[in-house]
Structure 1
């Protein structure tokens, strides 16, 4: 590839081969690509996806295995679920849509009615006015069978704790009922509070295997993650961010979650293109407008005073 500025070949060996063509695009187009979501298949994420694949292929039996994907906010849980879902998108089969992976969010004010309505929305089914709960329940069960659902994913499962005591118990009973009735795996996704919600029910706790996504710490896995990020941004110079010093600095500034780390590096990559530096380094990291979670909270609280 040739640089438009001086007609000299660009050395793009620091980039992943799939990014080479993007690196030759104009700045505005590269910034758009930089800001897009990207999947970094680090070992813990790939292991989680493999567990989901195993559940998807599990033969139906009376008591199906379930999974609880737990981790801090903004630590890659939803991205793992989205990557898994994209592997198993709905397809038309014999004039009927087949939806192997049904993914919803636990409503912010949980109840059986809201929960069933969320499933119907995920299936693209209209909800008639003033439907009785028992009718919604039967409709959901029938449609999940008709579309051939093989796994039900419930993100933001910790929202169960936002409900009153009776609503909380109602939702926990609902999870157990669906697993028994449909005989498909249920995957819960959420923060530590999701685990606490499941643990409050002895039967559910025994059915859900917890899989933890901890905060990132300095080490070879984080070094490899940083190298993968550097190779994925269409920058024309090498970003040396997988050193010990850089790793310590980036983890401290992002507070150890992959979502914040991606936000910080994305901001620095945009600055690298805009400034012509073309690499993530101390200079571009220093002038990026990224603000970490703790500082954001402090600024917000200061504004409230």
Structure 2
């Protein structure tokens, strides 16, 4: 199967090996149908849900290293911050110029707090906005500041990643954090995207009012099928190798699946490491031997308990 390289990749073909390795090592958006479908759904929610009395929000569920954060970063990339002064001069007052330098932020991303405390949630949001606040401020003051700055900065969607962190505390505190998230959506009338592992389903199931508002979207592990083969072809199209790689055959494709355990982060990491291994061994393509010999460590392999007696 002949795979055409992307235009960007073709421009790198005549560069040195080290330059091409640097290109391979950079993070790039790899588009595939499931990811695009999720982005399309998030785009629709961003476009049509804002301002409703009962806003529909989303819970994005997937295992670690399976593409959640990449999808969210892609959505943010599609809706970058803009010059708030130029586009909304009627909302900017003299006090605002004196106190805060702002841009419009259509989609804003934060990490869930490491412990389920409402005050920590608000602090994370304010810190991510570079908004002035004191850590010692009470919950009510922080809530006011969060609502004030999210509204003033034209935040139309709030993303809270690693929401399964909420499970690290007692149920009462979990509910406090979830209620705070629900109230932000109600007050500001904006959709909120929660993202996390499958444990995140346990988080929202503690409250029916929460679970009814957050529609789950799932990122499943890859299996041996045509979609998976198409994914491999897409990845190959981003690698500046001068000869045709041979990884779409059943043996090599299955080996990649076995090593990665079906997680897209490891699929991508393995193929990129094999490409770098091949280039450093003066090869312009990758095949089964490169996949086996590049010594890639998957996330699950890294997390296994090892005998450390010789270290």
Say yes or no: TM over 0.5: yes
User: What does 1:159-238 align with in structure 2 at a 5 Å threshold?
Assistant: 159-238=165-244
Q: Give the secondary-structure state (helix, strand or coil) at the position aligned to 1:175.
A: helix
1:279 corresponding residue in structure 2: 285
Q: Deviations over 1:65-94 (max 9, x none)?
A: 011110111100000000000111111132
Give the SS at the match of 1:91: coil
- Relative to the length of structure 2, the TM-score reads 0.90
Maintained 8 Å contact 2:161/2:196: yes
Per-residue displacement from partner, 1:5-26 (whole Å, max 9, x unpaired)? xxxxxxx974222211112111
Counterparts in 2 of 1:98-137, with a 5 A limit?
98-137=104-143
1:48 aligns to what? 38
Which ranges of structure 1 fall in alignment gaps of 5 or more residues?
Answer: 1-11
Distance in 2 (alpha carbons) for counterparts of 1:295 and 1:161: 25
1:129 Cα deviation from its structure 2 partner: 4.7
| Preserved CA contact (<8 Å) 1:55 1:185 | yes
1:211 & 1:113 partners in 2: Cα distance? 28
Could you say if the C-alpha distance between residues 24 and 223 of structure 1 is closer, same or farther in structure 2, counting changes exceeding 3 Å? Answer: same
Aligned to 2:146: 140
How many residues are aligned here?
293
SS at match of 2:12: helix
User: What is the CA distance between 1:295 and its match in structure 2?
Assistant: 3.2
Distance (whole Å) between structure 2 residues aligned to residue 179 and residue 21 of structure 1: 45
Query: Which of residues 296, 301, 306 is equivalent to 1:301?
Result: 306
Aligned partners of 1:219 and 1:252: how far apart in 2?
Answer: 14
| Deviations 1:195-245, CA, capped at 9 Å, x for gaps | 111112111111111111111000010000000111111111111212222
The residue aligned with 2:59 is 68
User: What is the RMSD of the two structures over their aligned residues, measured on CA atoms?
Assistant: 1.7
**Cα shift at 1:189:** 0.5
From 2, 20, 29, give the equivalent of 1:39.
29
Which consecutive aligned stretches of 4+ in structure 1 deviate over 6 angstroms post-superposition? none
Residue 290 (structure 1) aligns with: 296
Distance across 2 between alignment mates of 1:44 and 1:111: 34
Distance 1:186 1:294 in 2: 30
Q: Residues 130 and 293 of structure 1: is their aligned pair in 2 closer, same or farther, counting only changes over 3 Å?
A: closer
| Gap runs ≥5 in structure 2 | 87-101
Return 25-34 or 90-99, whichever deviates more: 90-99
Equivalent in the alignment of 1:8:
none
Q: Which whole-Å CA distance do the structure 2 matches of 1:116 and 1:245 have between them?
A: 50
Contact 2:65 2:299 in 1 (8 A): no
CA separation of 1:144 and 1:29: change in aligned 2, threshold 3 A:
same
2:47 & 2:9 partners in 1: Cα distance? Answer: 33
